[in-house]
């Protein structure tokens, strides 16, 4: 199992509850994709299944028979299902629940991790509900989700919810170093937007990212020619719209993080970041004219607007409301 970094507060609290034998039987780990929720679930599972009594250390001892079996993927009392496209079916879930209803093969606890559980079908959720309502002794369910609202309230109400934040740039740098990739640098750590999957996107689309960064800088300088051309080109690329908007948000966020000592610049990037978030919603969910969305986001990056932004009252209308007025 890959070494988990980050989320220290949640992981420490979970480990302490396990040691104190106060851990609920059903847990829900929620947060965006690519931040290590599943690794946190695996770490907790290793602790619960560890042969040390009454409970192993955080992540398990690593040397007992149970830890060795879990690491090899052959632990008889550990089940893992992943849902979503081409993932586990309702029949797979039923088979797993039947197995969990049996006595533990190794005489201890049983743990099931249900990854992407927010993609379980309505039938699957109802199938799972009975096991959550009447949990077997020493049996634990960990549901890993990106969007808890997709699950029925009946399932959510049976789980203790734990929320995991985006990874900090410092944590991502530490992960890259642990992987032997310190040369990936600060830019990748920031532009990854708090996720490990973001790092892979940054690597694969380095040219597109570089272009977005240069346009954002031109927008800050007030270069309407470059801004207008970029909005037109990006807006006409329907297939690349989601990626462009994500890169635009990440680049603006990086600028905001780098402007802590410059209040004028910080005010510009703060407004632009909110506008980029609104732009993603308007362009991708509301299908507003993409060229118009990108143009307004880039124009809000202009440093000449700093004083005006600083004078705006809290809660002033942002991009989404402005676009709706047109």
pLDDT in tens, 246-286: 889 989 988 998 898 999 999 999 999 999 988 888 888 88
Q: In sequence order, what are the beta bridge partners of 163?
A: 30
pTM higher than the cut 0.85: no
Tokens found for residue 215: 């346009």
Rg (CA), the chain: 23
Residue 201, pLDDT above cutoff 80: no
pLDDT at position 319, please? 58
pLDDT at position 22, please? 94
pLDDT band at 53 (very low <50, low <70, confident <90, very high): confident
Domain residue ranges in the chain? 8-163, 205-325
CA angle 90, 93, 97 (to 5 degrees): 140
Strands 139-145 and 26-30: parallel
Q: Contact, 48 vs 55, CB < 8 A? A: yes
Residue 317, pLDDT above cutoff 70: no
pLDDT at position 177, please? 78
- Could you give the residue ranges of the DSSP H alpha helices within 27-168? 37-49, 65-72, 90-100, 122-133, 153-156
Tokens found for residue 74: 């052959």
Q: Calculate what percentage of the chain has a pLDDT beyond 90.
A: 62
Greater model confidence, 17 or 318: 17
Strand arrangement, sheet containing 26-30: 78-82, 110-115, 139-145, 26-30, 160-163
pLDDT band at 166 (very low <50, low <70, confident <90, very high): confident
- Could you give the residue ranges of the DSSP H alpha helices within the chain? 8-19, 37-49, 65-72, 90-100, 122-133, 153-156, 169-178, 185-191, 196-204, 206-220, 224-235, 241-258, 263-280, 290-299, 306-311, 319-325
Please state which architecture CATH assigns to domain 8-163.
3-Layer(aba) Sandwich (3.40)
The three-class DSSP label of residue 107 is: coil
pLDDT at position 316, please? 58
pLDDT in tens, 74-110: 999 999 999 988 899 999 999 999 999 999 999 899 9
Q: Contact, 261 vs 233, CB < 8 A? A: no
pLDDT at position 182, please? 57
Burial profile 113-130: b = 16 or more Cβ within 10 angstroms, e = fewer: bbbbbbbbeeebbebbee
Q: What own/partner pairs with CB < 8 Å and gap ≥ 24 does 170-179 have?
A: 171/5, 171/6, 172/196, 172/199, 174/5, 175/5, 175/6, 178/3, 178/5
What values do phi and psi take at 80, rounded to 5?
A: -140, 125
Residue 186, pLDDT above cutoff 70: no
Topology (CATH level 3) of domain 205-325: 1.20.120
């Amino acid at each position: 199992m890959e070494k988990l970094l980050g989320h220290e507060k949640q992981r420490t609290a979970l480990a302490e509850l396990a040691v104190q034998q106060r851990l609920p039987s059903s847990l829900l780990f929620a947060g965006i994709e690519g931040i290590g929720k599943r690794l946190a679930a695996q770490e907790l599972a290793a602790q619960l299944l560890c042969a040390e009594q009454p409970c192993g250390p955080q992540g398990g001892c690593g040397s007992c028979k149970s830890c060795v079996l879990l690491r090899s993927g052959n632990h008889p009392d550990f089940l893992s299902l992943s849902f979503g496209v081409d993932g586990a079916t309702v029949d797979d879930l039923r088979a797993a629940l039947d197995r969990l209803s049996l006595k533990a093969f190794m005489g201890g606890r049983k743990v099931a991790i249900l990854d992407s559980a927010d993609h379980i079908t309505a039938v699957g959720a109802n199938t799972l509900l009975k096991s959550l309502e009447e949990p077997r002794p020493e049996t634990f369910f960990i549901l890993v989700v990106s969007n808890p609202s997709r699950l029925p309230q009946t399932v959510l109400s049976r789980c203790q919810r734990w929320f995991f934040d985006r990874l900090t740039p410092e944590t991502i740098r530490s992960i890259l170093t642990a992987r032997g990739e310190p040369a990936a640098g600060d830019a990748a750590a920031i532009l990854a937007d708090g996720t490990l999957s973001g790092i892979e996107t940054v690597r694969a689309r380095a040219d597109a990212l570089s272009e977005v960064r240069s346009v954002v800088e031109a927008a800050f300088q007030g270069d309407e020619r470059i801004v207008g051309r970029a909005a037109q080109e990006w807006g006409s690329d329907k297939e690349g719209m989601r990626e462009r908007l994500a890169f635009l948000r990440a680049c603006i966020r990086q600028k905001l993080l780098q402007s802590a000592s410059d209040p004028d610049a910080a005010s510009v990037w703060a407004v632009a970041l909110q506008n980029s978030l609104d732009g993603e919603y308007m362009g991708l969910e509301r299908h507003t004219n993409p060229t118009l969305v990108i143009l307004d986001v880039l124009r809000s990056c202009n440093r000449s607007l700093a004083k005006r932004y600083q004078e705006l009252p809290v809660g002033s209308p942002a991009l989404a409301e402005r676009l709706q007025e047109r």
